[in-house]
Amino acid sequence: MQDATSAELDTIRQENITRILGAAERLFRHYGYGKTTVADIARELGMSTANIYRFFASKVEIHQAICSQMLAGSYQLARHTASLPISATERLRRYALEQHTLTVETMMDEEKVHEMVIVAIERDWAVIEKHIDRLHDLIAEMVSDGIAAGEFREQDVSVASKCFGASITSLCHPQLIMHCISKPNRAKPEDLVDFAIRALI
């Protein structure tokens, strides 16, 4: 009976966390991260500020959780691309271009979303570093598959994955995209990705 009660409490807790994060994201998107307070989130949900603090210690912690969700979507897209039954070369190309499109559409299209992402990057949260490490692991898998298939030359896949990731940073980093996307003297995404892939051959 005690186990069932604990499970029910866990479910209720998760439901409250989901509601809080949903309301916070709506407000962050509408008013901006800087202008939204924990009291605003509580008011949106019709609950007390103290109740919000039962689940999150601060607005920063709420922001971290939302960013984790956004990055999880990015990772799932990358994971799907990395597992496609096509050549490693094509998987890397799709991976880079899809990450670029996702960044532009979800992080750049709405100014307030962009603000959330920039705050996370500037604070150098561990969640950002963990996301980068997971993406490097996926790139390493694709490079390793390419070596095994004879598409790429023998090389240190860990070094290659980090170098490939660094070479396409301007396609996936929100701040760099904001400064480069409309500049006519910047490389086109497709050309940059092809250039990075040729370095592996």
Q: How many CA atoms lie within 13 A of 44 on its CB side?
A: 19
* Mean pLDDT to the nearest integer, 108-134: 74
Q: Which of 46-55, 60-69, 102-111 is predicted with the least confidence, judged by mean pLDDT?
A: 102-111
Q: Smallest Cα–Cα separation from 114: which of 44, 187, 177?
A: 177
Kindly indicate whether the domain formed by 59-198 is annotated with CATH number 1.20.1090.10: no
Contacts of 68 (CB under 8 A, 6+ apart): 127
User: Distance between CA 3 and CA 6 in Å, rounded?
Assistant: 5
When pLDDT is cut at 50, 70 and 90, the band that residue 124 belongs to is low
Contacts of 174 (CB under 8 A, 6+ apart): 103, 107, 108, 114, 117, 118, 121
Provide the angle, in degrees to the nearest 10, between the axes of the packed helices 2-31 and 111-122: 110
Q: Which of 55-59, 128-132, 137-141, 181-185 is predicted with the least confidence, judged by mean pLDDT?
A: 181-185
The yes-or-no verdict on residue 162 having pLDDT over 50 is: yes
* Mean pLDDT to the nearest integer, 169-180: 77
Q: Which residue has the tokens 């996307």?
A: 181
When pLDDT is cut at 50, 70 and 90, the band that residue 47 belongs to is very high
Q: Which residue type is seen at 31?
A: Y
Residue 152, phi then psi, degrees to nearest 5: -120, 155
- Please give the pLDDT value at position 126: 80
Q: Which residue type is seen at 56?
A: F
CB burial of residue 149 (10 Å; 0-12, 13-18, 19+): exposed
* Mean pLDDT to the nearest integer, 21-39: 90
User: Domain extents for the chain?
Assistant: 1-56, 59-198
Q: Which residue has the tokens 């670029």?
A: 100
- Please give the pLDDT value at position 193: 96
CATH class in words for 1-56 = mainly alpha
User: Distance between CA 108 and CA 119 in Å, rounded?
Assistant: 14
The yes-or-no verdict on residue 1 having pLDDT over 50 is: no
Q: Do 200 and 152 touch, CB atoms closer than 8 A? A: yes
